[in-house]
Structure 1
Amino acid sequence: MSVNYVLVLDTNKKPLTPCKPSRARSLLKAGKAAVFRRYPFTIILNKDVVDSPSSCQLKIDPGSKTTGLALVLNNAVIWAGELTHRGQQIKDALLRRRQFRRGRRHRKTRYRQARFLNRKRAYSWLAPSLNHRVQTTMTWVNRLTKFCPIDSIYQELVRFDTQKINNPEISGTEYQQGELHGYEVREYLLEKWNRKCAYCGAQNTPLEVEHIHPRSKGGSDRVSNLTLACHTCNQAKSDQDIKDFLCGKPDFLKRILSRAKASLKDAAAVNSTRWKLYNELKLTQVPVEMGSGGLTKFNRCRLNLPKTHWIDAACVGAVEILTLETLQPLLIKSTGHGIRQMCGTNKYGFPTRHRSKQQIHKGFKTGDIVKAFVTKGKKIGIYKGRVIVRASGSFDISTALGRVSGINHKYCIPLHRKDGYQYAF
């Protein structure tokens, strides 16, 4: 299976053209390079390179929960990653803290009264859970531009109308029935209804846009009144009201109506952060291009590619041809850097335990990625994963197969120091 290319630096830490893993292995075996970083895997040469490297394009598909990243070199995807955010965890933590403070206030314990109207927010202020999405994305943009020669950045932001570019005078019915007609709304409905028929649950079949409340009876074209149905169900429903069509299935009717009015929280999160991310990208001094979600899907369907976050990122912007040199993206999960609380509390906010101020034990910190070679005892074997440290020196290692406890620190070798992210393939 194809894997990501290896990022390369010269001895002065100047980014060079990424190379294939086989080429990187030969350089490491010959002693001409050394491992500089594990994630993303980067090697550093022991010589200076004068030649100008080939530039890559960094493409970004921002998402509410997962952001797709792709490096494209000569119309080929050579590196891909999927960054999973922790915005919901941040929101839950802030909500829990607010509930604790409110509870103490109403119990009349020693706690100051709430003060309002004394805080000012900047014009571009974003909620912490939303700002986190921008900051984590920018962390990886800066990291990739540091290790790879990037000459342009593409972000999925606004509608990129190829018809207007090809024919500026196009208008009327000719414009409405163009190649991108309906792509934006259809893509949203496919995601909202999980690419299934809303009435029978059929998958892998052509789906048609259907009005929940028929237009012949006053229904509108709003997205909240649209759903997806297979051809059979669409013909069977015809112009009936959904309450008449599903009169014998009250539970099913209630589920469809509730989903039709589902929260647009994820869409609102992307809309709230896209311009902030765009302005942050411009500060990198790298040219930034924009593309729309409809054009991204149009490119992906035209190239007959599966739908994933990193492939969507590779299809952002104007794409003529695209080859996949990698099929194994780096899965990046944001885990944070821990908490600063010195006192642990229970679910009611009462103190239950004390947290140590010291974070490093035996040279390791919780969150480091280590490899342990256990040579004796009941747990002989090789373990690789994130470590959970203790002052006693008996560590736990979280591996892909589960958590292994009681590993002595003497068996552990550090592979990647804690940076707030968890990695997998």
Structure 2
Amino acid sequence: MSKVFVLDTNKQPLNPIHPGRARMLLSKGKAAVFRRYPFTLILKQEVLNPQIEPLRVKIDPGAKTTGLAFVNDNTGEVVWVAELQHRGFQIRNALTSRRQQRRSRRNRKTRYRQARFLNRTRPKRWLPPSLNSRVANILTWVKRLSALCQVAAISQELVRFDTQKMENAEIRGIGYQQGTLGSYEIREFLLEKWNRTCTYCGAKNTPLEIEHIQPRSKGGSNRISNLCLACTPCNQKKGNQDIKDFLRGQPDLLKGILTQAQRPLADAAAVNATRWNLYENLKETGLPVEVGTGGRTKYNRTLQGLKKTHYWDAACVGASTPEQLITSGVKPLLIVAKGHGTRQQCRTDKWGFPIRYCSRSKFHKGFQTGDIVKAVVTSGKKIGIYVGRVATRATGSFNISTSDGLVQGISHKYCAPIHKKDGYAYTS
């Protein structure tokens, strides 16, 4: 388990402590729980002249998931790690759906609105909402964590994917038209795209080789859409066969591979578009910001012998990574961005027609949707203890999303709040 954050009675951050010591402080009544996620204690007395060790927050930004880690540069100890799951693609899909419904409604009502162009000036460092949410999530957690411990520096992986070169491996010089694009790592991109498994047999935790879906000897190219990953036996078995011949008896697998191969470079584009915006915002915190490449992160992680995860990648970002990281007992906090609800006055069907009323009251029976609660049900068909994110109703019959699934129809009388809504869901 990761270490526990501690504040004194004046909310001054102290050194994080071992969970065993945290339990001792709670049992002796010397501290109380200040925050459940991330778990933080507050002492019942002031600490004069505390000896605080500065920590470095390290960030491995991603399109879907970002890794966060606190590392002590002096001792090499990894103090706390987390994975932050973004909702950028969900926001993009919601905006697309809303735009389609509005256009359909305007066409149905034969309403014409004259085009407006003079009010479309965008501020400096503007990003689309789906991309801005990723940056905002990371900045939110950097600020939250900075209030819980002494942060001395920030390290950010400033990776760049050359999407043009991924599409056309022969591009060079004036082929870029404008400027010079940075380097890229096709293998790392393919590992993410194909989930680090063999494309043909699904083997995991085995050496993977870059494979041409359409062989070069039969007209295949080096475009990223023609590359996949295969284990050595599958690669040798396929040889220079056409994929349609190789997978003649597996039409479903063939269709899935061809579909996945044509998947757009949305993830790489999202990272490229937000990396400098995030860097500039991190600099505004006033802390020194170190940047590192994806290749340096992988090199550090390989030397440390750590598994490929977002939080271990974060711990290995940058040249400041100690020669030996102390990682024993570290368990990540899994954070999922959920947003802060909706302003819709009614719910609509897929064609944009209203189907039900949306309550304007956020609180019901003292709870609001998004609170994390503990329900101890002592009677009825659902006897048990349930912990999770609650969805409230005016009737007082709530739904609770637990790690085992959704539990419906839990009375508010059985619920006790653990963590108030803050736009995120947690799994420790």
TM-score calculated relative to the size of structure 2:
0.84
Any conservation in 2 of the 1:237–1:245 contact (CA below 8 Å)? no
Task: State which drifts further: 199-208 or 95-104.
Answer: 199-208
Distance 1:194 1:39 in 2: 29
2:426 is paired with a residue of what secondary structure? strand
- 1:29 is aligned, of 16, 27, 30, to 27
* Backbone CA RMSD of aligned residues: 2.8
1:187-202 aligned at under 5 Å gives the runs 187-198=188-199, 202=203
Any conservation in 1 of the 2:157–2:292 contact (CA below 8 Å)? yes
- 1:370 is aligned, of 369, 373, 376, to 373
2:85 alignment partner in structure 1:
84
Distance 2:201 2:407 in 1: 45
Matched, 1:95 2:93: no
- The letter of the residue matching 2:290 is E
Distance 1:149 1:11 in 2: 16
Matched, 1:307 2:325: no
1:356 alignment partner in structure 2:
359
1:25-174 aligned at under 5 Å gives the runs 25-49=23-47, 50-73=49-72, 74-109=75-110, 111-113=111-113, 115-118=115-118, 119-158=120-159
2:392 alignment partner in structure 1:
389
Identity over aligned pairs, percent: 59
- Residues 1:358 and 1:216: Cα distance change in structure 2 (over 3 Å): closer
Distance 1:244 1:41 in 2: 53
2:16 is paired with a residue of what secondary structure? strand
1:188 is paired with a residue of what secondary structure? helix
- The letter of the residue matching 1:54 is E
Task: State which drifts further: 226-235 or 185-194.
Answer: 226-235
- Residues 1:385 and 1:249: Cα distance change in structure 2 (over 3 Å): closer
Any conservation in 2 of the 1:71–1:80 contact (CA below 8 Å)? yes
Q: Deviations over 1:292-333 (max 9, x none)?
A: 111111111222211111111111112321121344211111
1:22 is paired with a residue of what secondary structure? helix
Any conservation in 1 of the 2:364–2:396 contact (CA below 8 Å)? yes
1:94 is paired with a residue of what secondary structure? helix
- The letter of the residue matching 1:69 is L
Deviation at 1:353, TM superposition (A): 2.2
2:175 alignment partner in structure 1:
none
Distance 1:67 1:290 in 2: 15
Distance 2:241 2:155 in 1: 44
Matched, 1:405 2:404: no
Distance 1:219 1:44 in 2: 62
Count of aligned pairs between the two proteins: 399
Deviation at 1:107, TM superposition (A): 1.2
Any conservation in 2 of the 1:158–1:290 contact (CA below 8 Å)? no
2:374 is paired with a residue of what secondary structure? strand
- Residues 1:380 and 1:295: Cα distance change in structure 2 (over 3 Å): same
Deviation at 1:5, TM superposition (A): 1.0
1:17 is paired with a residue of what secondary structure? coil
- Residues 1:75 and 1:244: Cα distance change in structure 2 (over 3 Å): same
Distance 1:133 1:101 in 2: 26
TM-score calculated relative to the size of structure 1:
0.85
- Residues 1:244 and 1:137: Cα distance change in structure 2 (over 3 Å): closer
2:15 alignment partner in structure 1:
17
Distance 1:268 1:131 in 2: 13
Ranges in structure 2 where 5+ consecutive residues have no aligned partner: 161-182
Any conservation in 2 of the 1:369–1:384 contact (CA below 8 Å)? yes
Task: State which drifts further: 240-249 or 394-403.
Answer: 240-249
Deviation at 1:146, TM superposition (A): 0.8
Deviation at 1:336, TM superposition (A): 0.9
Any conservation in 2 of the 1:370–1:412 contact (CA below 8 Å)? yes
Distance 1:385 1:254 in 2: 38
- The letter of the residue matching 1:184 is E
- The letter of the residue matching 2:137 is T
Distance 1:65 1:48 in 2: 41
Ranges in structure 1 where 5+ consecutive residues have no aligned partner: 160-181
1:176 alignment partner in structure 2:
none
Distance 1:375 1:204 in 2: 45
2:53 is paired with a residue of what secondary structure? coil
Distance 1:350 1:144 in 2: 43
Task: State which drifts further: 191-200 or 315-324.
Answer: 191-200
Any conservation in 2 of the 1:80–1:326 contact (CA below 8 Å)? no
Deviation at 1:338, TM superposition (A): 0.6
Matched, 1:418 2:417: no
